[in-house]
Amino acid sequence: MLQQFLFFTILMGFLITVLLSPVFIPFLRRLKFGQSIREEGPKSHQKKSGTPTMGGIVFLISITVTTLVMSGKFAEPSSKTLMLLLVTLGFGVLGFLDDFIKVVMKRNLGLTSRQKLLGQIVIAVIFYLIYRQSGLSSDLSIPFTDITLHLGWFYIFIVIFWLVGFSNAVNLTDGLDGLVSGTAAIAFGAFAILAWNLSQYDVAIFSVSVVGAVLGFLVFNAHPAKVFMGDTGSLALGGAIATIAILTKLELLLVIIGGVFVIETLSVIMQVISFKTTGKRIFKMSPLHHHYELVGWSEWRVVVTFWSVGVICAILGIYIEVWM
Protein backbone atom coordinates (compact mmCIF):
# COMPACT_ATOMS: atom_id res chain seq x y z
CA MET A 1 0.00 0.00 0.00
CA LEU A 2 2.76 2.47 0.94
CA GLN A 3 4.75 1.54 -2.18
CA GLN A 4 1.66 2.20 -4.30
CA PHE A 5 1.31 5.60 -2.66
CA LEU A 6 4.84 6.53 -3.67
CA PHE A 7 4.24 5.24 -7.20
CA PHE A 8 1.15 7.44 -7.57
CA THR A 9 3.13 10.39 -6.19
CA ILE A 10 5.75 9.91 -8.91
CA LEU A 11 2.99 9.50 -11.51
CA MET A 12 1.25 12.70 -10.40
CA GLY A 13 4.47 14.71 -10.58
CA PHE A 14 5.23 13.25 -14.00
CA LEU A 15 1.76 13.95 -15.44
CA ILE A 16 1.55 17.53 -14.18
CA THR A 17 4.87 18.36 -15.84
CA VAL A 18 4.01 16.53 -19.06
CA LEU A 19 0.61 18.24 -19.32
CA LEU A 20 1.87 21.73 -18.45
CA SER A 21 4.97 21.73 -20.66
CA PRO A 22 3.22 21.80 -24.09
CA VAL A 23 1.34 24.89 -22.90
CA PHE A 24 4.28 26.57 -21.21
CA ILE A 25 6.95 26.06 -23.90
CA PRO A 26 5.06 28.00 -26.64
CA PHE A 27 4.38 30.69 -24.03
CA LEU A 28 8.12 31.04 -23.43
CA ARG A 29 8.67 31.24 -27.21
CA ARG A 30 6.14 34.04 -27.56
CA LEU A 31 7.89 35.96 -24.79
CA LYS A 32 11.19 35.35 -26.62
CA PHE A 33 12.67 33.75 -23.50
CA GLY A 34 15.35 31.98 -25.53
CA GLN A 35 18.70 30.76 -24.27
CA SER A 36 21.80 32.71 -25.25
CA ILE A 37 24.76 30.42 -25.94
CA ARG A 38 28.24 31.50 -24.82
CA GLU A 39 30.60 32.00 -27.72
CA GLU A 40 33.45 30.27 -25.86
CA GLY A 41 31.37 27.09 -25.50
CA PRO A 42 31.47 24.13 -27.92
CA LYS A 43 30.60 25.26 -31.46
CA SER A 44 27.97 22.53 -31.76
CA HIS A 45 25.93 24.32 -29.08
CA GLN A 46 25.38 27.44 -31.18
CA LYS A 47 22.41 25.79 -32.90
CA LYS A 48 20.69 25.65 -29.50
CA SER A 49 20.52 29.45 -29.34
CA GLY A 50 16.94 30.60 -28.93
CA THR A 51 15.69 27.38 -27.30
CA PRO A 52 13.23 28.42 -24.56
CA THR A 53 14.73 28.50 -21.07
CA MET A 54 13.26 28.94 -17.56
CA GLY A 55 11.50 25.59 -18.04
CA GLY A 56 12.31 24.85 -14.43
CA ILE A 57 9.19 26.84 -13.57
CA VAL A 58 7.08 23.95 -14.88
CA PHE A 59 8.55 21.25 -12.69
CA LEU A 60 8.71 23.57 -9.68
CA ILE A 61 4.93 23.99 -9.99
CA SER A 62 4.61 20.21 -10.31
CA ILE A 63 6.83 19.54 -7.29
CA THR A 64 4.92 22.03 -5.13
CA VAL A 65 1.43 20.81 -6.08
CA THR A 66 2.32 17.12 -5.90
CA THR A 67 4.10 17.46 -2.55
CA LEU A 68 1.27 19.40 -0.91
CA VAL A 69 -1.52 17.21 -2.31
CA MET A 70 0.13 13.87 -1.55
CA SER A 71 1.44 15.00 1.83
CA GLY A 72 -2.09 16.05 2.68
CA LYS A 73 -3.41 12.58 1.78
CA PHE A 74 -0.75 10.77 3.79
CA ALA A 75 -0.67 13.21 6.72
CA GLU A 76 -0.61 16.94 7.25
CA PRO A 77 2.38 18.65 5.57
CA SER A 78 5.14 18.64 8.19
CA SER A 79 7.68 21.30 9.09
CA LYS A 80 10.22 19.34 7.03
CA THR A 81 7.91 19.51 4.00
CA LEU A 82 7.60 23.25 4.38
CA MET A 83 11.36 23.69 4.83
CA LEU A 84 11.98 21.66 1.67
CA LEU A 85 9.55 23.79 -0.33
CA LEU A 86 10.96 27.00 1.16
CA VAL A 87 14.51 26.23 0.04
CA THR A 88 13.48 24.78 -3.32
CA LEU A 89 11.27 27.71 -4.26
CA GLY A 90 13.69 30.22 -2.72
CA PHE A 91 16.55 29.00 -4.89
CA GLY A 92 14.12 28.77 -7.79
CA VAL A 93 13.25 32.46 -7.44
CA LEU A 94 16.95 33.32 -7.26
CA GLY A 95 17.55 31.31 -10.43
CA PHE A 96 14.58 32.97 -12.12
CA LEU A 97 16.08 36.40 -11.43
CA ASP A 98 19.36 35.20 -12.92
CA ASP A 99 17.61 33.83 -16.02
CA PHE A 100 15.43 36.93 -16.37
CA ILE A 101 18.48 39.22 -16.40
CA LYS A 102 20.17 37.01 -19.00
CA VAL A 103 17.19 36.66 -21.32
CA VAL A 104 15.17 39.86 -20.97
CA MET A 105 17.88 42.33 -20.03
CA LYS A 106 20.35 40.66 -22.45
CA ARG A 107 23.12 40.48 -19.85
CA ASN A 108 24.49 37.03 -20.62
CA LEU A 109 26.12 36.45 -17.22
CA GLY A 110 22.90 37.22 -15.30
CA LEU A 111 23.31 38.09 -11.63
CA THR A 112 26.85 38.87 -10.56
CA SER A 113 28.58 36.10 -8.61
CA ARG A 114 28.44 38.27 -5.49
CA GLN A 115 24.70 38.88 -5.83
CA LYS A 116 23.99 35.20 -6.40
CA LEU A 117 26.17 34.12 -3.47
CA LEU A 118 24.50 36.64 -1.16
CA GLY A 119 21.06 35.39 -2.15
CA GLN A 120 22.08 31.77 -1.58
CA ILE A 121 23.52 32.55 1.84
CA VAL A 122 20.40 34.47 2.91
CA ILE A 123 18.16 31.52 1.97
CA ALA A 124 20.52 29.10 3.75
CA VAL A 125 20.51 31.19 6.94
CA ILE A 126 16.69 31.47 6.93
CA PHE A 127 16.46 27.70 6.52
CA TYR A 128 18.92 27.14 9.36
CA LEU A 129 17.00 29.39 11.74
CA ILE A 130 13.79 27.48 11.03
CA TYR A 131 15.71 24.20 11.35
CA ARG A 132 17.00 25.18 14.80
CA GLN A 133 13.58 26.42 15.86
CA SER A 134 12.16 23.02 14.92
CA GLY A 135 14.52 21.36 17.39
CA LEU A 136 16.30 19.22 14.79
CA SER A 137 19.77 17.81 15.38
CA SER A 138 22.95 19.77 14.70
CA ASP A 139 25.09 16.63 14.83
CA LEU A 140 27.20 15.46 11.90
CA SER A 141 27.84 11.73 11.48
CA ILE A 142 30.99 10.52 9.73
CA PRO A 143 30.35 7.58 7.34
CA PHE A 144 32.29 4.31 7.96
CA THR A 145 32.86 5.32 11.60
CA ASP A 146 30.96 5.66 14.87
CA ILE A 147 32.09 9.27 15.12
CA THR A 148 29.42 11.94 15.57
CA LEU A 149 30.37 15.58 15.79
CA HIS A 150 28.15 17.74 18.03
CA LEU A 151 28.40 21.09 16.27
CA GLY A 152 25.69 23.20 17.89
CA TRP A 153 25.49 26.64 16.30
CA PHE A 154 28.58 25.86 14.19
CA TYR A 155 26.30 23.60 12.16
CA ILE A 156 25.20 26.73 10.29
CA PHE A 157 28.46 26.61 8.34
CA ILE A 158 27.66 23.07 7.15
CA VAL A 159 24.19 24.23 6.10
CA ILE A 160 25.50 27.24 4.18
CA PHE A 161 28.31 25.27 2.52
CA TRP A 162 26.01 22.42 1.49
CA LEU A 163 23.18 24.59 0.14
CA VAL A 164 25.45 27.02 -1.69
CA GLY A 165 27.85 24.33 -2.85
CA PHE A 166 25.34 21.85 -4.23
CA SER A 167 23.06 24.45 -5.79
CA ASN A 168 26.08 25.69 -7.74
CA ALA A 169 27.26 22.13 -8.45
CA VAL A 170 23.95 21.18 -10.08
CA ASN A 171 23.97 24.49 -11.93
CA LEU A 172 27.43 23.72 -13.36
CA THR A 173 26.27 20.25 -14.43
CA ASP A 174 23.37 21.71 -16.42
CA GLY A 175 25.14 22.04 -19.75
CA LEU A 176 23.81 19.24 -21.97
CA ASP A 177 20.32 18.19 -23.01
CA GLY A 178 18.81 15.98 -20.31
CA LEU A 179 21.99 15.74 -18.23
CA VAL A 180 20.68 17.28 -15.01
CA SER A 181 17.12 15.98 -15.48
CA GLY A 182 18.41 12.41 -15.55
CA THR A 183 21.08 12.67 -12.87
CA ALA A 184 18.70 14.55 -10.56
CA ALA A 185 15.99 11.88 -10.96
CA ILE A 186 18.55 9.23 -10.00
CA ALA A 187 19.92 11.11 -6.98
CA PHE A 188 16.50 12.12 -5.63
CA GLY A 189 15.31 8.54 -6.14
CA ALA A 190 18.17 7.30 -3.98
CA PHE A 191 17.31 9.76 -1.23
CA ALA A 192 13.64 8.79 -1.45
CA ILE A 193 14.63 5.18 -0.68
CA LEU A 194 16.87 6.26 2.21
CA ALA A 195 14.27 8.65 3.65
CA TRP A 196 11.65 5.89 3.52
CA ASN A 197 14.08 3.51 5.21
CA LEU A 198 14.55 6.11 7.98
CA SER A 199 10.74 6.47 8.31
CA GLN A 200 10.97 10.10 7.19
CA TYR A 201 7.92 9.73 4.98
CA ASP A 202 7.46 13.47 4.50
CA VAL A 203 10.94 13.75 2.98
CA ALA A 204 10.35 10.62 0.88
CA ILE A 205 7.13 12.07 -0.55
CA PHE A 206 8.91 15.27 -1.52
CA SER A 207 11.79 13.30 -3.06
CA VAL A 208 9.57 11.15 -5.27
CA SER A 209 7.59 14.26 -6.25
CA VAL A 210 10.85 15.64 -7.61
CA VAL A 211 11.61 12.35 -9.38
CA GLY A 212 8.25 12.38 -11.17
CA ALA A 213 8.46 16.08 -12.04
CA VAL A 214 11.98 15.95 -13.53
CA LEU A 215 11.24 12.74 -15.45
CA GLY A 216 8.26 14.55 -16.96
CA PHE A 217 10.54 17.45 -17.83
CA LEU A 218 13.02 15.01 -19.40
CA VAL A 219 10.40 14.19 -22.04
CA PHE A 220 10.95 17.69 -23.42
CA ASN A 221 14.54 18.24 -22.25
CA ALA A 222 16.15 15.11 -23.75
CA HIS A 223 18.29 15.61 -26.85
CA PRO A 224 17.37 17.54 -28.92
CA ALA A 225 15.93 19.68 -26.12
CA LYS A 226 12.74 21.63 -26.73
CA VAL A 227 13.26 23.55 -23.49
CA PHE A 228 16.01 24.17 -20.92
CA MET A 229 15.43 24.31 -17.16
CA GLY A 230 17.71 27.34 -16.75
CA ASP A 231 19.11 28.46 -13.42
CA THR A 232 15.47 28.53 -12.27
CA GLY A 233 15.50 24.75 -12.25
CA SER A 234 19.12 23.83 -11.58
CA LEU A 235 19.64 26.07 -8.54
CA ALA A 236 16.33 24.84 -7.09
CA LEU A 237 17.24 21.17 -7.57
CA GLY A 238 20.68 21.67 -6.02
CA GLY A 239 19.23 23.45 -3.00
CA ALA A 240 16.54 20.78 -2.65
CA ILE A 241 18.88 17.80 -2.62
CA ALA A 242 21.21 19.47 -0.12
CA THR A 243 18.22 20.15 2.13
CA ILE A 244 17.13 16.51 1.93
CA ALA A 245 20.63 15.40 2.94
CA ILE A 246 20.53 17.75 5.94
CA LEU A 247 17.04 16.72 7.08
CA THR A 248 17.85 13.01 6.82
CA LYS A 249 21.23 13.57 8.55
CA LEU A 250 23.00 12.06 5.55
CA GLU A 251 24.96 15.19 4.73
CA LEU A 252 28.26 13.54 3.84
CA LEU A 253 26.55 10.74 1.92
CA LEU A 254 25.41 13.39 -0.55
CA VAL A 255 29.01 13.63 -1.75
CA ILE A 256 28.66 10.03 -2.97
CA ILE A 257 25.04 10.01 -4.17
CA GLY A 258 25.57 13.36 -5.88
CA GLY A 259 28.92 12.19 -7.19
CA VAL A 260 28.32 13.45 -10.74
CA PHE A 261 27.69 16.96 -9.43
CA VAL A 262 30.81 16.79 -7.25
CA ILE A 263 32.99 15.55 -10.13
CA GLU A 264 31.73 18.30 -12.44
CA THR A 265 32.50 20.95 -9.82
CA LEU A 266 35.96 19.54 -9.10
CA SER A 267 36.75 19.62 -12.82
CA VAL A 268 36.07 23.37 -12.86
CA ILE A 269 38.14 23.96 -9.71
CA MET A 270 41.05 21.90 -11.06
CA GLN A 271 40.91 23.71 -14.41
CA VAL A 272 40.99 27.14 -12.80
CA ILE A 273 43.80 26.29 -10.38
CA SER A 274 45.89 24.66 -13.11
CA PHE A 275 45.46 27.56 -15.52
CA LYS A 276 46.22 30.22 -12.91
CA THR A 277 49.30 28.45 -11.53
CA THR A 278 50.81 26.88 -14.65
CA GLY A 279 49.05 28.56 -17.56
CA LYS A 280 47.96 25.11 -18.78
CA ARG A 281 44.53 23.48 -18.90
CA ILE A 282 43.91 19.97 -17.60
CA PHE A 283 40.76 19.56 -19.67
CA LYS A 284 39.93 20.82 -23.14
CA MET A 285 37.04 22.64 -21.47
CA SER A 286 35.29 22.52 -18.12
CA PRO A 287 32.90 21.45 -16.69
CA LEU A 288 33.90 17.89 -17.51
CA HIS A 289 30.98 17.11 -19.85
CA HIS A 290 32.32 19.67 -22.34
CA HIS A 291 35.74 17.98 -22.31
CA TYR A 292 34.22 14.73 -23.55
CA GLU A 293 32.30 16.58 -26.24
CA LEU A 294 35.51 18.16 -27.50
CA VAL A 295 37.33 14.81 -27.65
CA GLY A 296 34.68 13.58 -30.04
CA TRP A 297 31.90 12.03 -27.97
CA SER A 298 28.34 12.73 -29.12
CA GLU A 299 26.19 14.73 -26.72
CA TRP A 300 23.91 11.73 -26.16
CA ARG A 301 26.88 9.47 -25.35
CA VAL A 302 28.16 11.92 -22.75
CA VAL A 303 24.73 12.23 -21.13
CA VAL A 304 24.09 8.47 -20.98
CA THR A 305 27.58 7.88 -19.55
CA PHE A 306 27.04 10.47 -16.83
CA TRP A 307 23.62 8.98 -16.06
CA SER A 308 25.30 5.59 -15.67
CA VAL A 309 27.86 7.04 -13.28
CA GLY A 310 24.96 8.63 -11.37
CA VAL A 311 23.28 5.22 -11.02
CA ILE A 312 26.50 3.69 -9.69
CA CYS A 313 26.89 6.55 -7.18
CA ALA A 314 23.27 6.16 -6.05
CA ILE A 315 23.59 2.39 -5.55
CA LEU A 316 26.84 2.87 -3.66
CA GLY A 317 25.27 5.49 -1.40
CA ILE A 318 22.28 3.27 -0.60
CA TYR A 319 24.57 0.31 0.05
CA ILE A 320 26.74 2.31 2.47
CA GLU A 321 23.75 3.57 4.46
CA VAL A 322 21.56 0.48 4.50
CA TRP A 323 23.95 -2.47 4.53
CA MET A 324 27.27 -1.24 5.93
Model pLDDT for residues 211-222, shown as the tens digit of each residue: 999 999 999 999
Q: How confident is the model over 152-168, as a mean pLDDT?
A: 97
Beta strands in 28-70 (DSSP E): none
Q: Which of 274, 315, 276 is nearest to 291 (CA)?
A: 274
Dihedral sign of CA atoms 242, 131, 200, 82 in order: negative
- The DSSP secondary-structure symbol of 52 reads B
> Could you tell me which residues are annotated as the binding site?
171, 231
Q: Is residue 307 part of a domain?
A: no
Give pLDDT, residue 142.
Answer: 87
d(CA 106, CA 75): 45
The per-residue pLDDT of the chain, averaged, comes to 92
Q: Is residue 204 part of a domain?
A: yes
> Three-state SS for 92?
helix
Q: Is residue 311 part of a domain?
A: no
Q: Is residue 231 part of a domain?
A: yes
Number of domains in the chain: 1
Q: Is residue 322 part of a domain?
A: no
Query: CA 31 → CA 28, 50, 53, 228, 289, distances in Å?
Result: 5, 11, 11, 15, 30
Q: Is residue 93 part of a domain?
A: yes
Q: Is residue 60 part of a domain?
A: yes
Give pLDDT, residue 16.
Answer: 98
Range of the domain at 98: 1-34+41-250
> Could you tell me which residues are annotated as the binding site for Mg(2+)?
171, 231
Q: Is residue 297 part of a domain?
A: no
The secondary element (H helix, E strand) that includes residue 141 is strand 139-141
The percentage of the chain sitting over the pLDDT mark of 70, rounded to a whole number, equals 93
Give pLDDT, residue 50.
Answer: 72
* pLDDT tier for residue 115 given thresholds of 50, 70 and 90: very high
Q: How confident is the model over 34-40, as a mean pLDDT?
A: 59
Q: How confident is the model over 310-323, as a mean pLDDT?
A: 95
Give pLDDT, residue 290.
Answer: 94
